[in-house]
Amino acid sequence: MSRPAAKFLHARELLLCDAWAWDEPRKMAVALGITSRAVEHLKPRLKKEGLAAALGRKALRKPREAIFEGEFNARLTALACSQTPAGYQRRTVRLLADKLVELKMGNPFRR
């Protein structure tokens, strides 16, 4: 979701919360097409950090760490950038996963 769209969605959440007095998170979630947990997180963020924070998204404290290392990462990147299979316009995560299994590239995750 783009940032302006997310701000718009959060503004709609706040308006619904104001109209329904915060007591119906499930109904608001259904009306907005989001999870009730997202609605439940909105109120404390609004109270604690203010309107600007409630309309935005919390910044990550630190960048995410890569989960693949070395040779596997290089092979995965090469595969993702290679010619797509016949009948496909682009590579999907599912196609990449299937190809990794086919090539028997092993478990890429750190232990």
Q: Which of 8-17, 33-42, 82-91 is most confident?
A: 82-91
96 located within any domain: yes
**How does residue 21 score in pLDDT terms, banded at 50, 70 and 90?**
low
Q: Are residues 17 and 45 in the same domain?
A: yes
Instruction: Judge whether 65 lies within some domain.
Output: no
Range of the domain at 13: 3-55
Residues 19 and 44 in one domain: yes
Residue 62 maps to a domain: no
Please give the DSSP secondary-structure letter assigned to residue 57: -
Q: Please check whether residues 74 and 39 belong to one and the same domain.
A: no
Per-residue pLDDT tens digits for 87-96: 888 888 888 8
Shared domain check, 10 and 51? yes
Q: What is the pLDDT of residues 37-59, one digit of tens each?
A: 887 887 788 888 888 887 776 66
* Local structure of 18: helix, strand or coil: helix
Same domain for 42 and 7: yes
Per-residue pLDDT, 111:
47
Burial of 54 from C-beta contacts in 10 A (0-12 / 13-18 / 19+): buried
Report phi then psi at 95, rounded to 5: -65, -45
Identity of the residue numbered 76:
L
The structural domain count of the chain equals 2
State in Å, rounded, how far the first CA of the chain is from the last one.
Answer: 32
